[in-house]
Amino acid sequence: MDPCAWLRNNHAEAVGVQPSEQGDRVSALPKRATRIEDFRLRRRLLLVEGKLVNEPPIVLSTGITKTGCQELYRIDGKGGEARKLLVRSQREVRVLHPPFQCRRSFVVGGRKIALNLWVVTRHDEARQARELIGRTHYVEGRVRGMLLVAAFASPHDQDFVREYVARKKDIDLNGLEATPESWMWLRPAGGIIAAATMSTLYHGFPRGREQLCEQVNAERLIAELHRREERFRFDPSGEPPRREFLRKLGLAWASRFAVEAPYQTVGVGKVLAETAAKVAGERYLPPAKHLEVLRRAELAREALATLGYSRQQVVENPTENVVLRWFRKRGDFLTRAGYGLLRSDPVAPVWRVDPGTGFAGPPGGKAQAFLLYYHKQLK
């Protein structure tokens, strides 16, 4: 029998989105799990016993490697078919296959809407998700990490939500001209309509992590690393080794939350953020205990004046100021999904492209931008 057959047999079943999750949290390694001794990755495709799995059931950018004490196991079902592929890392077990997928419901205009969400395992879906993020998200650049995407379970639900949002924004869909900006309002129902990424932020140390470390009492962890890591003695800044610190803290980073324009402001972002926390807690590698999000938001200067905004006051007290209180009171898709807003810092606004000239430039000083830091403790 082909040694990879146990992976391929259930692939068609696994990639179809079902009403409930495929594989829940695994707290301990089952006794009937069989260890796979010979495995490796080749351009994010899994090789078992030297043979390539042409339809990989693994998640792109999962973090599975031969290092870091990671072990790969399988649990066979009836007839030799594989039911689960497990990874053990840092004494915790994560389900690698079947891929994560679920269905969530929310209410729009008095109607119950079903949304399918899943972690991308195919290259064509990854390309679609990256294109969506490039169209709708304010941050430019390469999209990295695990991709979580969403699509409506029914085309009728999608049409209903699109028409509902159009009415709220006074958009006449029948009289809308076909332009690059209006394309998403006119295209047929179907396909991915929202996406987010999950990874670990190694290339920076956001200021909000200071408040996070205070909340989770990370001082003991930092002291332990100071004792264990010899390179601390040669580190003039005194900061812990970033990669080792984040791994032991169990901190994952969710970013690039993007929803197509016709489906914004109705709750899709909240559902996406809730599911991202679930995926980070149950599927992400290395195992995560905390999830951080950085978001740039803008407030009009007229609104800031009514709040009694002072840049100096926000800079001196970034964890308790009028801006934070305003955002907490008003709420956004992250706070409604259970994320805590810990800090705000004034930053430069995002440059926007002028349709007339085709060049990007500052928005003109009518708004002040803030970098908001969110945290969610994972179950």
DSSP, residue by residue, 298-325: EEEHHHHHHHT--HHHHHH-TTSSHHHH
The confidence band for 342, taking pLDDT boundaries of 50, 70 and 90, is very high
Q: Which of 139, 170, 197 is the last residue of a domain?
A: 197
In a domain, 205, yes or no: no
Distance separating alpha carbons of residues 96 and 282, to the nearest angstrom: 10
pLDDT of 133 reads 94
Same domain flag for 83 and 136: no
**Model confidence pLDDT, tens digit, residues 282-295:** 988 888 999 999 99
**Does residue 47 surpass a pLDDT of 90?**
no
Distance separating alpha carbons of residues 372 and 378, to the nearest angstrom: 19
In a domain, 244, yes or no: no
**Does residue 125 surpass a pLDDT of 80?**
yes
In a domain, 354, yes or no: no
CB 121 within 8 A of CB 59: yes
The secondary structure of residue 334, as a DSSP letter, is H
Q: What share of the chain is helix, strand, coil (3-state, %, to 5)?
A: 30, 30, 40
* pLDDT, averaged across the chain: 80
Same domain flag for 34 and 120: no
Q: Which of 61, 81, 97 is the last residue of a domain?
A: 97
**Does residue 131 surpass a pLDDT of 90?**
yes
Q: State the total domains in the chain.
A: 2
CB 165 within 8 A of CB 211: no
Average pLDDT over residues 154-178: 91
Q: What percent of the chain has pLDDT over 90?
A: 34
Same domain flag for 188 and 106: yes
Which domain does 55 fall in, by range? 5-97
**Model confidence pLDDT, tens digit, residues 249-282:** 889 999 999 999 999 999 999 999 999 999 999 9
Distance separating alpha carbons of residues 26 and 21, to the nearest angstrom: 13
The more confident residue out of 353 and 346 is 346
In a domain, 220, yes or no: no
Hey, how many other C-beta atoms are within 10 angstroms of the C-beta on 142?
6
Same domain flag for 93 and 106: no
- Burial track 278-291 (b if 16+ CB lie within 10 A, e otherwise): bbbbbbbbbbbbbb
**Model confidence pLDDT, tens digit, residues 92-109:** 888 888 889 999 999 999
pLDDT of 9 reads 41
Same domain flag for 116 and 179: yes
Stretch (H or E) spanning 42: strand 39-42
Distance separating alpha carbons of residues 280 and 255, to the nearest angstrom: 12
Whole-model pTM? 0.85
Same domain flag for 111 and 193: yes
Q: Which of 77, 97, 117 is the last residue of a domain?
A: 97
Cα–Cα distances in angstroms (integers) from residue 122 to residues 129, 147, 285, in the given order: 11, 10, 18
In a domain, 154, yes or no: yes
In a domain, 233, yes or no: no
Same domain flag for 107 and 76: no
Report the number of secondary-structure helices (H) and strands (E) in the chain. Answer: 13, 17
The confidence band for 232, taking pLDDT boundaries of 50, 70 and 90, is very low
In a domain, 224, yes or no: no
Distance separating alpha carbons of residues 134 and 128, to the nearest angstrom: 10
